[in-house]
Structure 1
């Protein structure tokens, strides 16, 4: 039966052949547009609501109000006035929730156990028609906004973004300060007026006709529609129509300019931004994406390759930049070398020469068709996202695309729009450009007051405009046809349809293959991991630093030759781990074995240019040395890994070690890197043994493999025991160049036994909302408060952490310790029922089928890469959770919390200057 408050239902939504879900869209009588997603395989349900109201709608006198409103909606409604009711309910039913505020839109979303979905919707939907905006919580939450602001004061992107805002048109809403803080939201801390302002903002902009809703889960489309109508019809409609901005983003004297910006960390970056009109009306053609493809190409002869070969730039990306209803900044973003920093005018001239080349010769139909083919392949063999991840994106898509293009809009390329493309290219001139140079030594004469960034704005000189308007001949050439690109075919027939775990093969001594032709994700895609077990690569900070440098140099060397494969959907990465060095190749299965073989053939044959060695050698040192300016919690997590695991090294130690490595030293180290090697290969996806044959034959040809592996004892990578190690107390006290304090409590399981893993996994889920509500919501210690479960070599750990701009680390440690004591005493009172719900959720979660090939490959590779291979550990934990009662685990949790010898703190404090 058609609900009385629904107008129409649309089901003609274009979707990928690999997408098993069913979709529909309806519009309620109050104007709310709803997308419904039936996923028969989902064990959880999810909801997302996006509203056309963001920081652009902030009043000038209360900047940051939209962001503050986002926070307040979580803190009580008329139906559920308790501030933590919603959060508690979501966590008790195995879910997660979040929200964000953007320029013109804000988004709210959650997922939870499907059986609790209607009760969760009852709580969630009330955000949008009966928030309480309690005065006491307004006073508290303003402090949270201030903490969030303080947390980001040294964030380089935020600092650059605010300079961008300060130098834009004051009449455009982009000019406003988006995040807000204590001074923009209150009058010297007085929040009395703020309650009225937030209520007025909500009443004006949070209307059903400005909202989109997505409900997704195993429920039928009819059931989801009934829920949408039942819970969201109460939202008031008849709000202002959504309209594009009318003021220009930049005034004439804000174009044709150079911005110098001084960063906190060492950086050499050049950004060219061209001011273009809004591009929403061109989404079906994606003209800016096509231009970005041609400008950002990195294959032989490209703009990037030519600048890179001359050692002027390390990276180049094209097409990014801010966008909105009436503007689009088209960015060309480059990381410079030292030589490039002294040659910016030449680099910019070459960019303009390449733009003009594209204008003259690049708008050819076959080039657009190649891009169409790549995107069509990506859509046809799309890896299914988690339904909970999908919902928030669809809610935003509904604001921009027709209902048929709800999913396909991101992929639609309807044909080359020559007129639009020429119009966009014609706007890419020096007079319409904003040039940003980021370096510690640039000249500055202004100070941005919110984040404290020093900068300078100056107009381009007449000579620069003349030179760049009529550039000399470009060094670059346009891309040739891509030999890797073609329409993909169906996957190979299954050799063993019933096989669901990798099989082990040992084709030759020193080489182990784990192989699984995936029976479930039937698409022509695959993952290949090649792990070189090289103890010499990681036995000291010096060796590990060299391994990292070698990996960066290899990527730098191979990127150009492999860029066509990258465009066609074949990707690679090289990285060191504490076992040695790993190559990961992923993407379409046709040609993946051959590409992997080719990459491996370069490992011992490659010679690196001296200039590239020196530049990357210095870049790594700069990155590692500047790490102390990172967020304290990030540093604490990194330090914890160093303290608990062998063959992990502090970034400052790596920087010091690498500084002592000369080019001759490195060449000597490199000569013996793979002599001999033990290789472990994991091949998964649309791959049979015949397709892997080139790889298996190639490895013994290129590497001397270690013999008699059976007679060798596998290396052991034991985790430091907190009971016997004083490392936390000795080396866990960090001094940082960040103004915040942080403390992190480590609770270590007493063994690798699955009972220990199950107990700490259960405790992690159980303790999280209580910890957050007490230390973040009630005590307002800081904006970042949380917990996480971290297994290291199957040894379980629970981490509880707080980062604060208001309290010293000693206070944070004391409050965490007090919380643990109180939580332990109140275990029974806190709720056997809650813990039982969490236990049942964990059982479902542990047994939840993999969503896509990538996630399954990651999970299986984690098992394969370790010496003790166990593909069934998650099932074993689930069985143990089923086998024992909740009271059994309450006792186990109590034992863990009382075993203080297995607890340890590390902390971060600001370094005294």
Structure 2
């Protein structure tokens, strides 16, 4: 359900009101008064829910098992019929909004966006604080005597009306049945409203000719150039902004980015109108060019902007190019005609928004449409990409906050300065005297497919991969997908190379190699990506993983270019130094998000062969160019390749594709006994281990607790019972865990329960992020909740337990909606050498037999604070609001939340020392 009202409707005295109301509609209704009834019902029946508030829209969506759709819709409809909006629930939910705000405050792009809103003209709808927080929605209104419940209900009664709502339902029942449900369940929604709420505002958002310098909290530098354009919603069949966004943001030869990279000034670039409500709305479209700068580029930022205007002058002189538009049209039509199903909940949410934007005939097609070539409109809009219509923002890692002209954005407390761009510079940019000779239009894209013939599935009708070749240097797997019938292929390659020293220097040099390879391939991979032939390159230990996904016709051409560059990678000393700078910044930015930091520390604590990012950074500082060239020269002296080709390819084509990489990269096979292995330590039983570190970012107020329970090693078919218990446990416990710690106790905004699979060792993690409480207190609440799980399961009705089982079984027995989802599952079985392609079938067989008593005993045995079999490790990432000594906090003296039970916790001071005397799980891959 998309409601045509959002944050731009917030009154000045209650900024964030629309977001607050979105939260409150989840908190019970007259018909279903329990606050967690909706989420609990979805959890029991294989479903999930979400919502978001944008500038003009508020969208609510869910998915659920098909046979439970009507009952879920009944609960969903009550959001829009009779929400309770209880005062006590308001008090608790304002804490969730505050936690969400604190989480958003750690993101540089959010901080920049809020500076842009804060510096907008006071009369403009942009001049507001759309996130909302405790101050804007509670403290300030209370001080002014404002009744916030009355404000919420006023917004609800005035704007949550049928005429302002668009509903999309995707279900397995007939359209007549679905329509009858809509009439009976939603028919009593109040009438009124006429489309989305009208917002009045001019295209002039900011004072002209200004540059804002903004303090970044992370290791990045970025210049953002914003050009307000007229609203282009009605031009969706033409999409002129897409046309010149595609050209300006191009990364191929002759592009602006190619020139900036060659000068060493920029790393990446995007151009276009984003899909958020600030960049595309009923008042205007905001065309934004964002360029990620090197440190050297910051020093030349005015020249960077000057080169942009040179490029724009070239585009105006050449005029609109129809062949470029037709290339966009061809790719869009292929994507629409061979639609890859996205997640169903995301899909219905996008369609509900589309119903506001497109005619009925184009609700499905509007996002893809490039039907009308309109060079006059392109010329008209291009004429508005001029200096006097530009706002410039420079996001800087190095920012002098002591300067007398520093201002402070009050909500996120972001420091910034503002300066007037000199008139002489504006005149120079408006009409550059010349255009750099290296700037030119792109060439036609060689990767756009023309033959989309689908291979007959009768060649190989197997649902599982089959091995076509197994040699000392190469192993090839193949499947011609018999179900999805798509012209796409997913080709996955694992390329294991020989590490000369097996020390940290090899790991760092391998990362430098991947950066140089990515840079060398950038223009090629960009063209392929435009043609929807997507590539990912990653490094895992001494294994390069390459994935290519897209239309099959041009995939061999791309593979040949990638293999050739991998073998013949050339590098100058200047390019080496640039790669070192990139990697150094990646190391510095690592673990900026506390959730990621905690997951990293868990992996580091459990992995026997792991190079710490700080140690890698130190190693990087002493590397010489000669070290790199020697490493590259010997990189593939011993190689082993394993690949899987899935989808629209014959066996012959799969073998030919694998042969491309074998011929380019294999000079000598890499013997099995010499290949590096991944080892995981076995945690001690009956003891809780604790490791803690501070957050990396100076602005980060959030702390994270990652409480991990090690369950045992995956031994293939012999571990299916363990997998089924783990999966069922997470399905049952996730919602009550969230409800208790997030909804009721408001411990933190992020409350999650997840399974872990680290090199074949299984586990369960309880994770909470909070800016309000210390890590020790957070852990005590996690432990208190865990202590209640056996009783919770015991008290659970047998029908409810069975419903969870049936939902999981239905999920495991269902077909994946996309080729890439299914083939990636198979690929994990291949590269980890498990080869258990029918895992779901075995899990289902075990799930059928799992009883409630077995689940209760399993929980007591592996999670119980008194259990001698429990293997537990807790990670603290301590935010700037918390104290380092939280492990001794008096509220957390026990491992279970019981103040009378002695806590058996060992504090880890050094991870190497911690691992030294621990057993290691037998190596499987």
Give the match for residue 7 of structure 1. Answer: none
- Does residue 872 (structure 1) correspond to residue 838 (structure 2)? The answer is yes
Q: 1:273 aligns with which of 222, 226, 233?
A: 226
Using the size of structure 2 for normalisation, the TM-score is 0.89
For the residues of structure 2 that align with 1:538 and 1:356, how far apart are their CA atoms? 53
Q: Is the contact between residue 703 and residue 775 of structure 2 (CA under 8 Å) also seen in structure 1? A: yes
Deviations 1:243-273 (CA, angstroms, capped at 9, x unpaired): 543321535x622221111111122211111
For the residues of structure 1 that align with 2:874 and 2:208, how far apart are their CA atoms? 52
Q: 1:263 aligns with which of 216, 221, 225?
A: 216
Q: 1:729 aligns with which of 660, 670, 689?
A: 689
Quote the offset at 1:320 in angstroms.
3.7
Quote the offset at 1:143 in angstroms.
1.9
Give the match for residue 37 of structure 1. Answer: none
Give the match for residue 656 of structure 1. Answer: 618
Matched pairs, number: 861
For the residues of structure 2 that align with 1:340 and 1:902, how far apart are their CA atoms? 50
Q: 1:720 aligns with which of 681, 685, 705?
A: 681
Q: Measured at CA, do residues 832 and 235 of structure 1 come closer, stay the same or move farther in structure 2, by a change above 3 Å?
A: same
- Does residue 565 (structure 1) correspond to residue 528 (structure 2)? The answer is yes
For the residues of structure 1 that align with 2:62 and 2:481, how far apart are their CA atoms? 31
Q: Is the contact between residue 69 and residue 198 of structure 1 (CA under 8 Å) also seen in structure 2? A: yes
Q: Is the contact between residue 272 and residue 434 of structure 1 (CA under 8 Å) also seen in structure 2? A: yes
- Does residue 58 (structure 1) correspond to residue 10 (structure 2)? The answer is yes
Give the match for residue 604 of structure 1. Answer: 567
Deviations 1:77-136 (CA, angstroms, capped at 9, x unpaired): 111111111111111111101111100001101111222221111111011110111111
Q: Is the contact between residue 262 and residue 442 of structure 1 (CA under 8 Å) also seen in structure 2? A: yes
Quote the offset at 1:376 in angstroms.
1.2
Q: Measured at CA, do residues 875 and 706 of structure 1 come closer, stay the same or move farther in structure 2, by a change above 3 Å?
A: farther
User: After the TM superposition, which residues 570-719 of structure 1 pair with which residues of structure 2 at under 5 Å, given as runs?
Assistant: 570-578=533-541, 580-627=543-590, 630-707=592-669, 709=671, 712=673, 716-719=677-680
Q: Is the contact between residue 103 and residue 174 of structure 1 (CA under 8 Å) also seen in structure 2? A: no
Quote the offset at 1:579 in angstroms.
5.1
Give the match for residue 336 of structure 1. Answer: 293
Q: Is the contact between residue 478 and residue 645 of structure 2 (CA under 8 Å) also seen in structure 1? A: yes
- Does residue 798 (structure 1) correspond to residue 764 (structure 2)? The answer is yes
Q: 1:228 aligns with which of 173, 177, 182?
A: 182
- Does residue 461 (structure 1) correspond to residue 422 (structure 2)? The answer is yes
Q: Is the contact between residue 846 and residue 878 of structure 1 (CA under 8 Å) also seen in structure 2? A: yes
User: After the TM superposition, which residues 17-28 of structure 1 pair with which residues of structure 2 at under 5 Å, given as runs?
Assistant: none
Give the match for residue 10 of structure 1. Answer: none
Q: Measured at CA, do residues 241 and 786 of structure 1 come closer, stay the same or move farther in structure 2, by a change above 3 Å?
A: same
Deviations 1:704-760 (CA, angstroms, capped at 9, x unpaired): 354485x7377543432122699x836454554422222121122134222111111
Give the match for residue 13 of structure 1. Answer: none
Q: Is the contact between residue 172 and residue 249 of structure 1 (CA under 8 Å) also seen in structure 2? A: no
Quote the offset at 1:795 in angstroms.
2.7
Deviations 1:485-539 (CA, angstroms, capped at 9, x unpaired): 2433321233524222111132653111111121122222112112112362894
Q: Measured at CA, do residues 884 and 166 of structure 1 come closer, stay the same or move farther in structure 2, by a change above 3 Å?
A: closer
Quote the offset at 1:778 in angstroms.
1.3
1:174 match: secondary structure: coil
Using the size of structure 1 for normalisation, the TM-score is 0.90
For the residues of structure 2 that align with 1:187 and 1:565, how far apart are their CA atoms? 52
Q: 2:172 aligns with which of 191, 202, 218?
A: 218
User: After the TM superposition, which residues 111-510 of structure 1 pair with which residues of structure 2 at under 5 Å, given as runs?
Assistant: 111-187=63-139, 190=142, 193-239=147-193, 241-251=195-205, 254-321=207-274, 322-442=279-399, 445-471=406-432, 472-474=434-436, 475-494=438-457, 496-506=459-469, 508-510=471-473
Quote the offset at 1:470 in angstroms.
1.1
Deviations 1:542-599 (CA, angstroms, capped at 9, x unpaired): 3223222211211111111343333222222211013511121221111212321321
Quote the offset at 1:209 in angstroms.
0.5
For the residues of structure 2 that align with 1:537 and 1:250, how far apart are their CA atoms? 60
Query: Any unmatched runs of 5+ in structure 1?
Result: 1-48
Query: Any unmatched runs of 5+ in structure 2?
Result: 885-925
- What is the CA RMSD across the aligned residues, in angstroms? 2.3
For the residues of structure 2 that align with 1:645 and 1:831, how far apart are their CA atoms? 40
For the residues of structure 2 that align with 1:178 and 1:495, how far apart are their CA atoms? 55
For the residues of structure 2 that align with 1:704 and 1:486, how far apart are their CA atoms? 30
1:110 match: secondary structure: strand
After superposing the two structures, state which structure 1 stretch, 277-286 or 604-613, moved more.
Answer: 604-613
1:661 match: secondary structure: coil
Q: Measured at CA, do residues 240 and 387 of structure 1 come closer, stay the same or move farther in structure 2, by a change above 3 Å?
A: closer
Give the match for residue 556 of structure 1. Answer: 519
For the residues of structure 1 that align with 2:272 and 2:4, how far apart are their CA atoms? 25
Q: Is the contact between residue 205 and residue 240 of structure 1 (CA under 8 Å) also seen in structure 2? A: no
For the residues of structure 1 that align with 2:533 and 2:70, how far apart are their CA atoms? 42
2:105 match: secondary structure: coil
